[in-house]
Amino acid sequence: MQRRVYLASFFGILSLGAAFLQAAATPRPTYAYTTVPAAQLQAIGGIPPWPWLPSGVTWNRGNFQAVPYAVNTVNDASLPQGQRMVITPGTEGTVLAIGSTKATVSSPAPATIAKGTAVVHTLSVNGVTYRYDRVMTMMTTAYNASFAMNGPSGAVAAWNGKPLKPGDVAVDPSVIPLGTYLYIDGYGPARAVDTGSAIWGEHVDLFFNESALKIALYGIQFHKVYVLTTPPPGFTG
């Protein structure tokens, strides 16, 4: 009985091996691949060529190109003649060009430029000409580099943090913006670079490298303050 089982198992293994050899020897089917010409594709109802064929979208190397932006100019009566100011900066657009075909990636945004129309006046002092567009009569006081006048921050300009020097003045920025060039009767060319808790409205505090006594003797004076449109000639402040 046991011998018959062994013989059955042996013939079963032979049968499986024969089946495997027969399957391996059977030839596999072959498939033929054909490529449709681009012209034929285009002729079939206007179907565009496949991307990887001649004239396909990937046949020509694509590149990005800049699109210039337009510039709109508006008149500004608060800006001196001859000056321009950027109100809104422009942004270039971008297109993707592939052969003769272009696709918009981003549209350009126009720039807006203000053109000054305010009348510019001239002031001549000792042979030097200053150009200005506003003049105001303002209260002026004086200060120096002492701790009493400047506090723990020291004698430095609030505008740029540089040490104060003659020609630097403190202003109310809502009346005269920091960085503005000025000509002040009795003081000379100046620049608004500092502020102060007691400086507000039409009040200008003038910096001097002088003693406390001379600062006190200056007191309160009223002078014309010219708001200049260009830096004073030869002024290094």
pLDDT tens, 49-95? 555 555 555 556 678 899 999 999 999 887 777 778 899 999 999 99
Distance CA 205, CA 219 (A): 11
User: What CATH number corresponds to the domain at position 144?
Assistant: 2.40.40.10
Residue 14 in tokens: 């032979």
Structure-token match 């120096």, residue found? 144
Q: Residue 207 falls within a domain, yes or no?
A: yes
- Total number of residues shown for the chain: 237
Picking from 54, 88, 118, the residue at the C-terminal end of a domain is: 118
Same domain, 94 and 139: no
Q: Residue 152 falls within a domain, yes or no?
A: yes
Same domain, 157 and 190: yes
Same domain, 220 and 174: yes
Distance CA 204, CA 192 (A): 9
Same domain, 160 and 197: yes
Same domain, 139 and 110: no
Q: Quick one: pLDDT band at residue 33, thresholds 50, 70, 90?
A: very low
Picking from 88, 118, 148, the residue at the C-terminal end of a domain is: 118
Q: Residue 22 falls within a domain, yes or no?
A: no
Provide the whole-model pTM. 0.55
Closest CA to 225 of 203, 210, 209, 208: 203
Q: What percent of the chain has pLDDT over 90?
A: 44
Q: N- to C-terminal Cα distance for the chain?
A: 120
Same domain, 128 and 81: no
Q: Quick one: pLDDT band at residue 201, thresholds 50, 70, 90?
A: very high
Report the pLDDT averaged over residues 152-174.
89
Residue 57 in tokens: 């979208």
Q: Residue 6 falls within a domain, yes or no?
A: no
Total number of domains constituting the chain:
2
Q: Residue 28 falls within a domain, yes or no?
A: no
Q: Residue 15 falls within a domain, yes or no?
A: no
Same domain, 145 and 201: yes
Q: What is the pLDDT of residue 168?
A: 95
Q: Which helix (H) or strand (E) holds 114?
A: strand 111-118
Do the bridges between strand 93-98 and strand 221-228 make them parallel or antiparallel, or are there none, so unpaired? unpaired
Do the bridges between strand 188-194 and strand 221-228 make them parallel or antiparallel, or are there none, so unpaired? unpaired
Q: How far is CA 69 from the centre of its chain?
A: 15
CB 131 within 8 A of CB 139: no
Contacts 24+ apart (CB under 8 A), 121-125: 123/183, 123/226, 125/183
Distance CA 136, CA 205 (A): 15
User: What CATH number corresponds to the domain at position 99?
Assistant: 2.20.230.10
Residue 157 in tokens: 């300009």
- For the cut 50, the answer to whether the pLDDT of residue 2 exceeds it is no
CA-based R_g, the chain, Å? 43
Q: Which domain holds residue 53?
A: 38-118
By three-state DSSP, how is residue 172 classified? Answer: coil
